[in-house]
Structure formats: structure tokens, C-alpha cells
Amino acid sequence: MPGGSLSNLLTLCECPGTMWEGSRLRLPCGIRVRFLYDPQGWCALGIISFIWAYNTVFIPSLVIVPMYHDDKLPLGTLVFYFLMSSMTVVCLYLSVTTNPGIVPLDIQPSAVEAADWTICKVCQIRRPPRSHHCRRCQQCVRKMDHHCPWINNCVGEENHWLFIQLLYYTLVLVSMSIALAVLHLYYSPPCSYCSPDVFPFSYIRPLLWFTCGQGVLFFPAAIGLVFGQTFNIIIDRTTLENMADPYFKAGVPSPRAIHEAFTDICGTKNVFCWLWPLRRRRPITAQAGYSYYRHM
């Protein structure tokens, strides 16, 4: 590490948005998880968590269960909705707490890799190709896509696959919530046992209108993110690389096969595992002298 960089690192570690080793949240039973101390990120994450909890409670209780009780929806609808809701919150938790691929301060490249590595102008550490320094987290992240305030974390090489899963499950959950709310509001007859004197049935229309309002705001964003991220994965470009070269002046990248692209991101060739978050991504392995960054 070049001389004089120690003072820069100490300054970074004192910043309120830093995510170095001390940035761990202690949970009951001695469990410690990574968590970025950023009030702005907390607010965004709180909004997302509230919307998930709101729809997970009110859509089943106001729409799915009453319609199932009246034989208008199969039991599978309720099971599938709770499955999508569970997968969404699991992916959200893992996206927030997973190390995105922080470049260690003392990492040294192999002799083969050394020519491709660069030195960060901010924290003065050596880093692999396509790494980027996040000014929000005050750290270098391998193959950083962007810093996402909605998950209060960077999206990098090690949690990009979880972020993609979060987008897919969120899109399915939002679509189902909107469709079921509209179905109940405008097409389905009143349920036979819903008493208007009992909460939440006494406020069923405002509660479902609020769900539709959420959908108007978040459905277009979810669609855009899903297609944008999928396109970037196929052409092997990150969001930051697109921002740096939006017109492909460095050359138009050749699209990869979908299986190859998602195998690279998800760390497994098993298609069924691409959407399963409760697993470990394949660790980076050494190949032909590349000991740190090259994999798959």
C-alpha cells in the first residue's frame, strides 16, 4: 500500500456511511450481520419493508382468503402468493446483509494478474479489474454494478445474483397484488362472511386502493429494472460501465448466451438454483494463475 494511505483509510473508517469491519449489527443469540450505517438507506429500506408487510397482510386477508372461502379462487393462489412473499423478503434480507465483494485492504494479485490490476485513487488500495469505489460506502467493490439505497448496500460480484432474484420476485409479487386488488374492487362480488363492522373489512376499498397506488409507482420501476439488469447481464456490462460509456464508444459488446450469462452471475450451472437464494454462490477459484478475480 503506498505511503500516506493509512491516514486516508482511517478517515474513511470514521465516515458515517462506512461499511468496514466495524459495520456489523448484533442480533439476538450472538448473530452478527453486515449492515451499512446510513440513515438515508434506512429510510429507503424501511419504505420497501413496509410495502412488503402491508401487502403480505392485507392482500391475503382482504382478497385471497375471502375469495377462497367463497370458492372463487383455489388454495394454490394463497400458497403461491405466500411463497412469492417469503422469497421476496428472504432475497431482500440477503441482498442487504451479504458482502457485495469488498476488496480487502491487504490483497495482493498473483504475478499473472498484476498487470491488469489498478490502484484506487480514493483509498489507495490495489484492486482487480472492473472494481469501483463506492463513495456512499467508502469501499472498493469487485465488479460493482451500483449502490442501491433500497437495499442499503452496494450491488457487486457477490450479491448481484441475490439482487436479480429480489427484482424477479418483487415483480411477481407486485403484479399479483395489483391484479388481485383490481379483481376484488371491480369484478368480484362482495364476500359472504366479510362484516363491514370489523376491521379491516370496514376499510377494504381504501386499503386496496392504496395497494393499487403502490403498484402504479413501483410496477414500472420493477419492469425497468428487471429488463435493464437482464440486458446488462447478457452483454456483460454493469450499470456504472453503461453510465461511463452510454454510447458504446469502446465497442459494442457481444451478447452472451443466456445460460452462460446467468451461470456467471449466479455461480452455478444448475438452472433451478438460479432462483433459489438459500445457498452459497460458488467461490472464486484459481485458474491458470488467476488467483482472485477470474472464475467460472
Indicate the SS3 state at residue 134.
strand
| Residue 293 to residue 283: CA distance in whole angstroms | 10
Q: What residues contact 86, with CB distance under 8 A and at least 6 apart?
A: none
Q: How many CB atoms lie within 10 A of CB 244?
A: 12
Question: Nearest 5°: phi and psi at 206?
Answer: -60, -35
| Residue 82 to residue 62: CA distance in whole angstroms | 14
| Residue 243 to residue 160: CA distance in whole angstroms | 18
Q: How many residues does the chain have?
A: 296
| Residue 232 to residue 144: CA distance in whole angstroms | 13
**Contact at 8 Å (CB) between 155 and 163?**
yes
**Nine-digit cell string for 161:** 445474483
Question: Nearest 5°: phi and psi at 228?
Answer: -65, -45
| Residue 151 to residue 147: CA distance in whole angstroms | 9
**Nine-digit cell string for 249:** 464508444
> In 3D, which of 22, 220, 219, 56 has the Cα closest to residue 139?
22
Active site residues: 148
| Residue 47 to residue 78: CA distance in whole angstroms | 24
> In 3D, which of 166, 140, 295 has the Cα closest to residue 229?
166
| Residue 258 to residue 249: CA distance in whole angstroms | 24
